[in-house]
Structure 1
Amino acid sequence: MQDLVTTWYLELCEPAALRRARVPQPEPLIMQARVPLPMLNRFLYTAVGGHWFWRDRLVWSYDRWMAWLDRPQLQTWVLYVDGTPAGYVELEHQQGDDVEIAYFGLMREFTGRGLGGHLLTRGIEQAFAMGARRVWVHTCSLDGPAALANYQARGMRTYKIEHHTVERPETPPGPWPGWDIET
């Protein structure tokens, strides 16, 4: 299926411009996954992105995942609700002291509780703690319906918009093959 996709590129260039989300109560735990573990990041990628057509990393081998993760420039932060992983943010420190929010999101079962704004706030704070002069992200019309609004609510400003056509399946792949996306 051909789909016209809009991609928004957003940035935040100073910590003072961050508009913090309210902290959900009880406050969920957010911890850095300090051990590079491809199985963990692949799980997070499919559990979060399976509903939103995240497909590019599904073909990655264990070695490619490890090469991505096992770098000092990359940090993975996991949000836990009652001990259960609920979402994550992947931060990549890049040349020129930019930090990209490479991946961000919640598992569908945890949306609508204010957790996404809280996790994004903490992710942006961490990006600046990594020495960022600019935190940036891109999101597209195939991502979750609240993604763009969440980035904007945190103070991120659009600096570029692109439109392109992509070939995609009728339905998102889900968290694993054979998953009924409506479940």
Structure 2
Amino acid sequence: MSSTRPPLPEGYSPIPPGHVANVATFLEMTAPPEHRPPQIYAPDLTLKPWKDADLGAYRALFKLIGENWLWYSRLKMADEKLSGILRHPDVEVHRLFRGAAVAGLLELDFRTAGECELSFFGLVPDEIGKGAGRFLMSEATRRAWAKPIKRFWVHTCSFDHPAALSFYRRSGFTPYQTAIEVHPDPRLTGHMPREAAPQIPIIE
């Protein structure tokens, strides 16, 4: 027996079954932070360039960091396109280490003249809340503004860690745009396991 549901309230738009939607917030810095904190000294944390990253290893780390937040873009991207990004001379890819263990990922994209995009910034689950994020952001900001840029920008979304937006604002970014993103649910396309991001419902 089919059920008839009442129409959605005014102002709401339905999302097609098999898709997910999130609110993306875009933030920017147009100058280095005036009161930039001193470079954080953390003897057990090191940031190392990841040159010529193996795509399998890269995607494994990307998935480990982003699975809870539905990071999917690099999982479905064609190998040739992903390789072209990671090996581009104007893209910096770094891994964060705590001792010998990989703790996070940082990507800085300088491909647009005068700008740097904080493309990916994340920690492995065990590192969240231990101060590694502050160290990683300090390094990201320092490296970005060491180049002749006029704008450093990032976007986050409502699928990300609940503290992500406030963290970026505390780090010196200012919100300037919001947008709605709708895309196929990667848990239904086979790019992520169905149990990923259980806080986000699957609607088939």
Q: Provide the TM-score with structure 1 as the length reference.
A: 0.83
Residues 1:43 and 2:43 aligned together: no
Deviation at 1:114, TM superposition (A): 1.2
Deviation at 1:180, TM superposition (A): 7.0
Question: Is 52-61 or 161-170 further displaced after alignment?
Answer: 161-170
Give the letter for the 2:129 counterpart.
G
Residues 1:23 and 2:36 aligned together: no
**Identity score, percent:** 26
Give the letter for the 2:164 counterpart.
A
Match of 1:137 among 154, 162, 167: 154
* 3-state DSSP of counterpart to 2:110: strand
Q: What aligned pairs does 1:18-167 form with structure 2 within 5 A after superposition? A: 19-20=36-37, 23=40, 25-167=42-184
Q: Where does the alignment leave 5 or more consecutive residues of structure 1 unmatched? A: none
- The separation in 2 between residues aligned to 1:29 and 1:99, in whole angstroms, is 22
- CA change 1:155–1:65 in 2 (3 A) is same
How many pairs are equivalent? 180
- CA change 1:110–1:149 in 2 (3 A) is same
- The separation in 2 between residues aligned to 1:66 and 1:79, in whole angstroms, is 20
- CA change 1:61–1:27 in 2 (3 A) is same
Deviation at 1:110, TM superposition (A): 0.7
- The separation in 1 between residues aligned to 2:89 and 2:121, in whole angstroms, is 19
Question: 1:7, 1:140 within 8 Å by CA — same for their partners in 2?
Answer: yes
- The separation in 2 between residues aligned to 1:22 and 1:150, in whole angstroms, is 17
* 3-state DSSP of counterpart to 1:57: helix
Deviation at 1:26, TM superposition (A): 4.0
Q: Provide the TM-score with structure 2 as the length reference.
A: 0.76
- CA change 1:13–1:123 in 2 (3 A) is same
